[in-house]
Amino acid sequence: MMMTTRLMEKTYRIMIVDRSEVARSIISHILQKEMHGAYIVTCGSAEEALEYLHREKFDLITTSLLLPGLDGLDLCHEVRKSEKQHLTPVIVVSSDADSRLLREGFSAGVTDYFNKSLGYKRLVEFIKDVSQRHSGLVGRVLYVEDSLSTAQSTQTLMERHGLYITHVPSAEEALELLRNSSTDPDSAGEESQGYDIVFTDFFLEGQMTGGDLLYAIRTQLHYSRQEMPVLVITIEDNKRCQAEIFHAGANDFITKPVIEEVLIARIKSLLLVKHQYNVLKRYSKDMYHLATTDSLTGARNKRYLLDEGPTFITQHPNTCLMMVDIDHFEIINDVQGHLIGDHILHIIGKYLNSYFSDNVMVVRFAGKKFTILIPGCGVDKGREIAEDLRLKMLGLNPEGLEVTVSIGVASTEGVAGILLATLIADADHALHISQAQGHNRTNVCISRKEEPVEN
């Protein structure tokens, strides 16, 4: 039986509480520049802040110590009593860490302090740092434990700290969930959304032990220790067992009975490992996207076509390739100038990206020529799409100019094992026929051995 706490997609939300309107404005402005996409609310008093906190969930709160009415520590007390906000990090900003602040701060639930005299920019850096550190504790844990009573108490403990738990009693069920889940950090909110870490008992009843699960994670699913951290719990506390756990592929272990502070510290450490892995993965993905996207048109570039095109054709039966060329573009450049020409390319590239669905590969092949790969598309459907595109391009009129295109179409329909280079050559051959017949036409190349058939 699987027990799941569902994780909802969220946007990072920050509340700034300060009695000075100028301070609120400056902090908010710098934060907007430094943390793109963050949702920021500013309040002039604790009472105003509490009204928001009753309605909305925030991921971080920063407050001045001195406020009209309730002060910053009073606000923190109220935050910790809130069912919705009790885990939210609270930073108290003060230029003077007086005895009351030092004496009562942590008992009030203050997460951290900032010395106001260091300035607003340093405060924003501090907020970013605290945000990053605490975002690591929000994660999805696949928890494997065959004792129902142990599982219930430990799951409740972890959920109190803001973790999202999926519990299964066997290694077999856990392995099946991992096989069907995604480790993509951008898959938040999807049904296939995966897990940030695995937390498993080392000794499980059934055909697979926790050690077998670890071995499968590392050797069958090929997850590294950074991509899928694993924390093991065991009753054994000796060097031989510890060595066995690490040899099996664990990142870390704890022993029974569970000590809450130790468990949460270990989980937080592993979530930070996963968080750093996700950041690097996103960075690598963004860099590849930039390197394979044409900056002028927004279409993919030729490198992307050559990198991804062969796999695209293999994965999608009946792939159609269109070669789209802007007619008489040299004349446009000569008469109107290259700036106008570039703007026309930008408009057409943007139009092609919007015309086709996300599963279609739109590529700026070279200069004024675009290549389009359409999955699940045979000859007849390809001809129909190409003609619809050509006719709609007649009404586009970029820069107020009448611009037409010639199109060549080829398809893998009925041809086994066709190469990308052959498909490109077939479509290009059909395109040259369209241009030879007077431009603003569509032609389809059935195969290399037959003459193109005019539409």
Instruction: Dump the DSSP string for 135-192.
Output: HTT--EEEEE-S-HHHHHHHHHHHHHTT-EEEEESSHHHHHHHHHTSB--TT-TTSTT
- 11/319 Cα distance (integer angstroms): 38
Q: Judge whether 344 and 335 are in contact, CB under 8 Å.
A: no
Same fold, 3-135 and 140-288: yes
Instruction: Retrieve residue 26's tokens.
Output: 């400056």
pLDDT the model gives residue 132:
66
For position 454, what pLDDT does the model report? 52
pLDDT computed for residue 5 by the predictor: 44
> The tokens 């300035």 sit on which residue?
119
- Alpha-carbon distance 360 to 382, whole Å? 12
Residue 203 main-chain phi, psi, to 5 deg: -110, 100
> CA–CA separation, 245 vs 223, rounded Å?
16
Q: What is the DSSP letter of 300?
A: B
Question: What is residue 328's predicted lDDT score, i.e. its pLDDT?
Answer: 94
Pick the CATH number of 3-135 from 3.50.30.10, 3.40.50.2300, 3.90.79.10, 3.40.50.10130: 3.40.50.2300
CA distance 165 to 6: 8
Identify the pLDDT of residue 32.
Answer: 84
How many Å apart are CA 345 and CA 44, to the nearest integer? 50
Decide if 320 contacts 377 (C-beta within 8 A). Answer: yes
Q: List the pLDDT tens digit at each of the 455 positions of the chain.
A: 554 444 334 457 899 999 999 999 999 888 888 877 788 999 999 999 999 988 888 888 999 888 999 988 889 888 888 877 776 888 888 876 555 565 666 667 777 788 888 888 888 888 887 776 666 456 899 999 999 999 999 999 998 887 889 999 999 999 999 999 866 655 543 444 689 999 999 989 889 999 999 999 999 999 999 999 999 998 866 677 888 899 889 999 998 888 888 898 889 888 878 877 877 787 787 788 888 999 899 999 999 999 999 999 999 889 999 999 999 999 999 999 999 999 999 999 999 999 999 999 999 999 999 999 999 999 999 999 999 999 999 999 998 999 999 999 999 988 878 889 999 999 999 999 999 999 999 999 975 443 444 55
Cα 415 versus chain centre, distance:
37
Q: With the C-alpha atoms ordered 268, 160, 35, 124, is the resulting torsion angle positive or negative?
A: negative
Cα separation of 302 and 315, whole Å? 19
The gap from C-alpha 447 to its chain's centroid, in whole angstroms, comes to 41
Cis check for the bond before 452: say yes or no (omega within 30 of 0): no
| C-alpha distances in Å from residue 405, one per residue of 42, 408, 427 | 53, 10, 14
pTM: 0.56
Strand order in the sheet with 369-374: 361-366, 369-374, 320-326, 405-411, 442-445, 453-454
- CATH number at 140-288: 3.40.50.2300
What is the b/e burial string over 108-128, where b = at least 16 CB atoms within 10 angstroms of the residue's CB? Answer: bbbbbbbebeeeeeebbebbe
The domain limits of the chain are 3-135, 140-288, 302-454
Q: Looking at residue 448, what is its pLDDT?
A: 47
Which is it for the CA torsion 288, 292, 296, 299, positive or negative?
Answer: negative
Q: What is the pLDDT of residue 94?
A: 81
pLDDT value, residue 455 = 52
Neighbours of 104 (CB within 10 A): 13
Residue 44 φ/ψ, nearest 5 degrees:
-95, -5
Please report the pLDDT score of residue 216 as a whole number: 94
Dihedral sign (CA 197, 200, 206, 208): positive
Please give the Cα distance from 128 to 132 (Å, whole number). Answer: 6
| Closest among 238, 240, 233 to 257, alpha carbons compared | 233
Yes or no: say if 165 and 155 are a contact pair by the CB < 8 Å rule.
yes
Supply 365's token pair: 């092949």
- 3-state SS, 204-231, equals CCCCCCHHHHHHHHHHCCCCCCCCCCEE
Task: Note the pLDDT of residue 183.
Answer: 61
pLDDT of residue 233: 93
Whether domain 302-454 has CATH 3.40.50.150: the reply is no
